Amino acid sequence: MTFNVLISDPLSEEGILPLRLADNVKVVIETGLSEEDLEERITEFDALLVRSGTQVTRSIINKGKNLKIIGRAGVGVDNIDLNAATEHGIIVVNAPNGNTNSAAEHTMAMLMALSRNIPQAYLSLKEHRWDRKKFVGVELRDKTLGIVGLGRIGTEVATRAKGQRMNIIAYDPFFTKEKADKMGIGYGTFEEVIQQADFITVHTPLLKETRHLIDAKAFGRMKDGVFIVNCARGGIIDEDALYEAIVSGKVAGAALDVFEEEPFMDHKLLELPEVVATPHLGASTVEAQEIVAVDLCKDVLRHLNGESVINPVNLPSLPKDIMKKVEPYFYLAEKLGAFLIDLVSEVAEEINVSFAGELYDIEVAPITRNTIKGILKRHLGMHVNDVNALYLAEKKEIVVNEQKTPQAKGFTNLITVEIKTKSQIRKVAGTLLNGLGPRIVHVDNYRVDVRPEGHMVVIEHIDQPGVIGRMGSLLGKHDINIATMQVDRSDRGGKAIMILTIDRHLDEAALNELLQLDEIKDVVAIDL
């Protein structure tokens, strides 16, 4: 199968080499498309790769009937409608690591240019003026740098600023005093950071909560003569409020690489001599452009070839060592869900997924998603995948619970899936046996040992002599061969279960004849 990949923003040719070299990928580069043009073109593509120039709207995603993955060459994905992508089961990936060094270096360059008036002095010299006194700057040494957002780039900026002998105080919602002490920097709340800092640099994503995080009220809390740097995302700083703060003298200067609306050409901020600005150059180095494109293209290839991606945006990301531990359970989890839903005759209201044994100590959320995918695919089809499974379950008002326990009842690992309806509770459990692969080991309260694959028949019956023989004869009459059989009972002469693996699908005629046998209470044909 050949996959069609559309690249709608300029990417490094060296970076897209992994796609060029893939035998099953056809690359089309069409930049500068309007939204209407992209809506028309996207229908034939399996993957869409963009930078910040293309706005991937809900309307575009709705048109992408074959779209499986959207890739953003860079960190921010605010130009992609993540909710729409998730609803359609389209995974979104980015390349968060490739431009870390480039962005951190650009932040430091802007910080120094701002403190020493370098662009203004250069422009003055180009105009044949020698104004040494006009461009007296300030040193960074012993000044306090407030960092709002201490992710990858913020952390790199902190490391570099320490090299300039600055005092660092940082705020991040996932940052603690213990982490600050370990890094050798100060820790504070957002308010404490902006109150104490001589220079403030922001490194947060643009979210509903961070839009205009630095507004007029925030400027009012800052020191007089503070300097502001934004090389993160446009919109974190209220540009009109920044203009007023500079004009009033509250802010001594600002260095801006990103803006609320780009291209940023006519805003009154650019008229102020205290403002240093660049046209979104944070990731614009030869090295960064190549690295982000390579990282992105490799992830797109992984997904198209059925492998796990490294940098999902609308899926929680896991370190490689953890993914290596959980990935072997994905197949088992999906098959358990698919097997169980066929045993349920009513609408599922609640799904409980329990993990035991060695699974107790690892991240199991991806396994849960694969379980839910297996359950929902039975009724919603291939539209369901591990990207949108939990979202679709929520939309169907199905409650999903996840539990873990160290006790695995004699197994090294055990996954138990339970579905509750208004009047039913059905459950199935499975394990990975070392060297033997996945097994179903419990169905409700019955013990079995079944490989979850192929054509299966689950028969609930009364434990009486001759049942197995009559059942076998009936299947033989329909030319259905039995490959394996598992039988367990609650007690002698009581309820029992029989699970068969057969060579072909159990057709309706054979199923109905089985149900005519007095001892058989229910028959379910399952194809895994």
Contacts of 29 (CB under 8 A, 6+ apart): 6, 7, 11
Do residues 229 and 255 make contact, with C-beta atoms less than 8 angstroms apart? yes
Q: How confident is the model at residue 66 (pLDDT cuts 50, 70, 90)?
A: very high
Task: Spot the catalytic one: 51, 88, 233, 461.
Answer: 233
Average pLDDT over residues 29-40: 95
| Phi-psi sector, 407: left (phi>0), alpha (psi -120 to 50), beta | beta
Q: Is 233 a catalytic residue?
A: yes
Residue 503 has pLDDT above 90, yes or no: yes
Which of 374, 381, 323 shows the shortest CA–CA distance to 353? 374
> What is the predicted pLDDT for the residue at 77?
86
Residue 70 parent element (H or E): strand 69-72
Q: Is 378 a catalytic residue?
A: no
Residue 515 parent element (H or E): helix 508-516
Share of the chain above pLDDT 90, in %: 75
> What is the predicted pLDDT for the residue at 172?
86
Residue 20, CB half-sphere, CA atoms under 13 Å: how many?
Answer: 10
> What is the predicted pLDDT for the residue at 382?
64
Average pLDDT over residues 236-247: 97
Model confidence, pTM: 0.59
Residue 76 has pLDDT above 80, yes or no: no
> What is the predicted pLDDT for the residue at 283?
85
Which of 347, 336, 343 shows the shortest CA–CA distance to 396? 347
Residue 310 has pLDDT above 90, yes or no: no
Which of 442, 356, 358, 353 shows the shortest CA–CA distance to 407? 356
Residue 308 has pLDDT above 90, yes or no: no
Q: Is 262 a catalytic residue?
A: yes
CB burial of 75-110 (b: ≥16 within 10 Å; e: otherwise) equals bbbbbbbbebbbbbbbbbbbbbebbbbbbbbbbbbb
Share of the chain above pLDDT 70, in %: 99
> What is the predicted pLDDT for the residue at 495?
92
Length of the chain: 528
In the chain the first and final C-alpha atoms are separated, in Å, by 23
Task: Spot the catalytic one: 280, 302, 378, 439.
Answer: 280
Give the pLDDT confidence of 106-127 residue by residue, as tens digits.
999 999 999 999 999 999 999 9
Average pLDDT over residues 79-96: 90
Contacts of 139 (CB under 8 A, 6+ apart): 115
> What is the predicted pLDDT for the residue at 423?
87
**Mean pLDDT, the chain, whole residue set:** 92
Residue 97 has pLDDT above 90, yes or no: no
For tokens 């007089």, the residue is: 224
Q: How confident is the model at residue 317 (pLDDT cuts 50, 70, 90)?
A: low
115-129, 171-185, 186-200: which has the minimum mean pLDDT? 171-185
Task: Spot the catalytic one: 30, 35, 262, 350.
Answer: 262
Residue 85 has pLDDT above 80, yes or no: yes
